[in-house]
Structure 1
Amino acid sequence: MVLRSDSELPEDEHLVPVPVAVERATGWRPTPSTAWRWAKKGARGHRLKTVDLGGRPASCVRWVNEFIQNTTEARDRC
Protein backbone atom coordinates (compact mmCIF):
# COMPACT_ATOMS: atom_id res chain seq x y z
CA MET A 1 0.00 0.00 0.00
CA VAL A 2 1.23 3.47 -0.82
CA LEU A 3 -0.37 6.36 1.05
CA ARG A 4 -1.01 9.37 -1.13
CA SER A 5 -2.00 11.65 1.70
CA ASP A 6 -0.50 12.79 4.96
CA SER A 7 -3.32 11.18 6.96
CA GLU A 8 -3.18 7.80 8.61
CA LEU A 9 -5.63 5.10 7.71
CA PRO A 10 -8.72 5.21 9.90
CA GLU A 11 -8.79 2.11 12.10
CA ASP A 12 -12.56 1.73 12.10
CA GLU A 13 -13.02 2.12 8.32
CA HIS A 14 -12.67 -0.32 5.44
CA LEU A 15 -10.85 0.63 2.24
CA VAL A 16 -12.91 0.12 -0.89
CA PRO A 17 -12.67 1.39 -4.48
CA VAL A 18 -13.42 5.12 -4.65
CA PRO A 19 -16.79 4.79 -6.45
CA VAL A 20 -17.97 2.33 -3.78
CA ALA A 21 -16.83 4.64 -0.95
CA VAL A 22 -18.70 7.55 -2.54
CA GLU A 23 -21.81 5.41 -2.97
CA ARG A 24 -21.72 4.34 0.69
CA ALA A 25 -21.32 7.95 1.82
CA THR A 26 -23.83 9.62 -0.49
CA GLY A 27 -26.15 7.00 -1.97
CA TRP A 28 -25.01 7.55 -5.58
CA ARG A 29 -22.08 6.11 -7.48
CA PRO A 30 -19.94 8.51 -9.55
CA THR A 31 -18.64 7.59 -12.97
CA PRO A 32 -15.13 6.10 -12.96
CA SER A 33 -13.73 9.28 -14.53
CA THR A 34 -15.18 11.43 -11.74
CA ALA A 35 -13.76 9.14 -9.06
CA TRP A 36 -10.34 9.19 -10.77
CA ARG A 37 -10.41 13.00 -11.07
CA TRP A 38 -11.28 13.51 -7.39
CA ALA A 39 -8.43 11.20 -6.37
CA LYS A 40 -5.78 12.51 -8.79
CA LYS A 41 -6.61 16.19 -9.41
CA GLY A 42 -9.23 17.06 -6.81
CA ALA A 43 -11.94 19.68 -6.88
CA ARG A 44 -11.95 23.26 -5.60
CA GLY A 45 -8.40 22.88 -4.31
CA HIS A 46 -9.01 19.66 -2.34
CA ARG A 47 -8.10 16.08 -3.25
CA LEU A 48 -9.89 12.98 -2.05
CA LYS A 49 -7.57 11.05 0.26
CA THR A 50 -6.75 7.66 -1.23
CA VAL A 51 -4.46 4.68 -0.93
CA ASP A 52 -3.18 2.78 -3.95
CA LEU A 53 -4.36 -0.83 -3.83
CA GLY A 54 -3.27 -2.88 -6.79
CA GLY A 55 -2.66 0.26 -8.82
CA ARG A 56 -6.17 1.60 -8.22
CA PRO A 57 -7.25 4.29 -5.77
CA ALA A 58 -9.15 3.13 -2.70
CA SER A 59 -10.76 5.29 -0.05
CA CYS A 60 -13.16 5.07 2.87
CA VAL A 61 -16.44 6.71 3.82
CA ARG A 62 -14.77 9.04 6.33
CA TRP A 63 -12.39 10.43 3.71
CA VAL A 64 -15.25 10.91 1.22
CA ASN A 65 -17.24 12.83 3.84
CA GLU A 66 -14.20 15.02 4.60
CA PHE A 67 -13.72 15.67 0.86
CA ILE A 68 -17.37 16.64 0.42
CA GLN A 69 -17.25 18.92 3.46
CA ASN A 70 -14.03 20.63 2.27
CA THR A 71 -15.27 21.19 -1.28
CA THR A 72 -18.62 22.49 -0.02
CA GLU A 73 -16.90 24.95 2.30
CA ALA A 74 -14.64 26.09 -0.55
CA ARG A 75 -17.70 26.61 -2.76
CA ASP A 76 -19.48 28.61 -0.05
CA ARG A 77 -16.46 30.92 0.35
CA CYS A 78 -16.70 32.05 -3.27
Structure 2
Amino acid sequence: MNKLFIFTILSVVIFPNHAYAYLDPGTGSIILQAIIGFLAASVTAISIYWSKFKSLISRIFNKKEREKDKSNSDD
Protein backbone atom coordinates (compact mmCIF):
# COMPACT_ATOMS: atom_id res chain seq x y z
CA MET A 1 0.00 0.00 0.00
CA ASN A 2 2.84 2.37 0.87
CA LYS A 3 4.62 1.65 -2.44
CA LEU A 4 1.42 2.31 -4.37
CA PHE A 5 0.98 5.65 -2.62
CA ILE A 6 4.57 6.71 -3.34
CA PHE A 7 4.24 5.58 -6.97
CA THR A 8 1.04 7.59 -7.38
CA ILE A 9 2.56 10.73 -5.88
CA LEU A 10 5.71 10.42 -7.99
CA SER A 11 3.72 9.87 -11.18
CA VAL A 12 1.64 12.98 -10.49
CA VAL A 13 4.76 15.05 -9.81
CA ILE A 14 6.85 13.70 -12.69
CA PHE A 15 4.11 13.67 -15.36
CA PRO A 16 1.89 16.69 -14.69
CA ASN A 17 -1.01 17.63 -16.94
CA HIS A 18 -1.29 21.14 -18.30
CA ALA A 19 -3.90 23.12 -16.42
CA TYR A 20 -4.30 26.11 -18.77
CA ALA A 21 -5.52 28.08 -15.77
CA TYR A 22 -6.08 31.82 -15.81
CA LEU A 23 -5.09 33.92 -12.83
CA ASP A 24 -6.71 37.32 -13.03
CA PRO A 25 -5.18 40.43 -11.41
CA GLY A 26 -7.47 40.05 -8.39
CA THR A 27 -5.96 36.67 -7.57
CA GLY A 28 -2.44 38.06 -7.90
CA SER A 29 -3.41 40.92 -5.63
CA ILE A 30 -4.74 38.54 -2.98
CA ILE A 31 -1.56 36.46 -3.13
CA LEU A 32 0.59 39.59 -2.84
CA GLN A 33 -1.45 40.85 0.12
CA ALA A 34 -1.10 37.48 1.85
CA ILE A 35 2.68 37.54 1.40
CA ILE A 36 2.95 41.12 2.68
CA GLY A 37 0.70 40.32 5.65
CA PHE A 38 2.77 37.26 6.51
CA LEU A 39 5.98 39.28 6.38
CA ALA A 40 4.52 42.08 8.52
CA ALA A 41 3.23 39.61 11.12
CA SER A 42 6.58 37.81 11.17
CA VAL A 43 8.55 41.02 11.69
CA THR A 44 6.18 42.11 14.45
CA ALA A 45 6.37 38.76 16.25
CA ILE A 46 10.16 38.66 15.99
CA SER A 47 10.50 42.21 17.31
CA ILE A 48 8.21 41.49 20.28
CA TYR A 49 10.11 38.37 21.28
CA TRP A 50 13.48 40.05 20.59
CA SER A 51 12.65 42.86 23.01
CA LYS A 52 11.58 40.33 25.65
CA PHE A 53 14.81 38.40 25.10
CA LYS A 54 16.92 41.57 25.38
CA SER A 55 15.10 42.52 28.57
CA LEU A 56 15.76 39.10 30.07
CA ILE A 57 19.45 39.20 29.17
CA SER A 58 19.88 42.72 30.54
CA ARG A 59 18.19 41.75 33.80
CA ILE A 60 20.51 38.74 34.16
CA PHE A 61 23.68 40.75 33.51
CA ASN A 62 22.57 43.75 35.57
CA LYS A 63 21.81 41.43 38.48
CA LYS A 64 25.37 40.08 38.35
CA GLU A 65 26.79 43.61 38.17
CA ARG A 66 24.67 44.74 41.14
CA GLU A 67 25.89 41.77 43.17
CA LYS A 68 29.51 42.67 42.33
CA ASP A 69 28.95 46.32 43.25
CA LYS A 70 27.23 45.32 46.46
CA SER A 71 30.10 43.03 47.48
CA ASN A 72 32.68 45.73 46.63
CA SER A 73 30.84 48.39 48.61
CA ASP A 74 30.71 46.14 51.68
CA ASP A 75 34.54 46.04 51.84
Place the TM-score, normalised by the shorter chain, in its bin: under 0.3
Q: Which has the higher helix share?
A: 2
Please identify the structure whose Cα radius of gyration is greater.
2
Greater relative contact order, per chain length (Cα 8 Å cut-off, separation 6+): 1
TM-score (norm 1): 0.27
TM-score (norm 2): 0.28
